[in-house]
Amino acid sequence: MKVLANDGISQSGIDALEKAGHEVITTTVAQEQLINYINEKDITVLLVRSATTVRKDLIDACPGLKIIGRGGVGMDNIDVEYAREKGLSVINTPAASSHSVAELVFGHFYGLARFLHNSNRDMPLEGDQNFKGLKKAYAKGTELKGKTLGVLGFGRIGQATAKVALGAGMKVVAFDPFLEQVNLELDFFDGQKVNFDIKTISKEDVLKQSDFITLHVPAQDEYVIDEAEFNIMKDGVIIANAARGGVINEVALVKALESGKVSRAALDVFEKEPKPEIQLLMNPALSLTPHTGAATNEAQDRIGTELAEQIINILG
């Protein structure tokens, strides 16, 4: 069987698939040429990340496809239900990138808490001439230990992020409409384990209590955080969104930053990806990354291996 990994796949995934007798093609085919390529090359499995979309037209036009795989969690770039109605298997890797996203969120949080996102811009420009001025400007940092992290969406990634928070000495409060309680097990280097029972609370209570807020929710029709939600939050809260663009109203976020309701924020995803609004890109209160939540070598290895195992099980 031929597998087209159109947005790439780790070497570990390639090795596992080839060992099972499948041919892996890692050519990146342009979206408009994808249908012809799949049919001409007799592709059985199409693997994508976020760059390639798999809509009804492609599914209808490529009868030889048996499996569509998404290297990652969200599958909003795939018409999942339609594909399954047509008899295709649709797979993803919901657990593989959880910890990498959690670490990125905390990379942003630690950076924002100590103004690293600004200091790293200003030191090369002014460090030799205005050292004392910069020292004074960035002298009011915040420690995460002892603060409250609010997690909106307490699935795999939300739970992984909560584990990092607990390890950092933070209190965790969480909202999830589908979960009442979660047991989190923290594993340490020497084999010790510590368990925490986290009971979910209302979204409003999370917003009221939290010093830091992180979102881990799927794409949806309405904003999860809009003007009304900002108004509920503590003054000076720090927010991170490494979930999906469109779950935070970016216009309302900029207003909240300007008013001081939100002191600083981090965005890894954007409403108008891949061309974020210039007001976001130029805002000194924002720490920004280009949708790299799952972009670690370890996560990509796990994603590739997990996809390969699922494909091999399905194809036999």
* Catalytic residue ranges: 244, 273, 291
Angle (CA) 161-163-169 rounded to 5° is: 110
- Residue 11 and residue 80: Cα distance in Å, rounded? 26
Helices (H) and strands (E) in the chain, counts: 13, 13
CB neighbours of 290 closer than 8 A, spacing ≥ 6? 268, 274
C-alpha distances in angstroms, 168 versus 101, 104, 148, 161, 186? 16, 14, 11, 11, 12
What's the start-to-end Cα distance of the chain, in Å? 11
Q: What is the C-alpha to C-alpha distance for residues 187 and 193, in angstroms, rounded to an integer?
A: 5
Residue 99 has which token pair? 């910890």
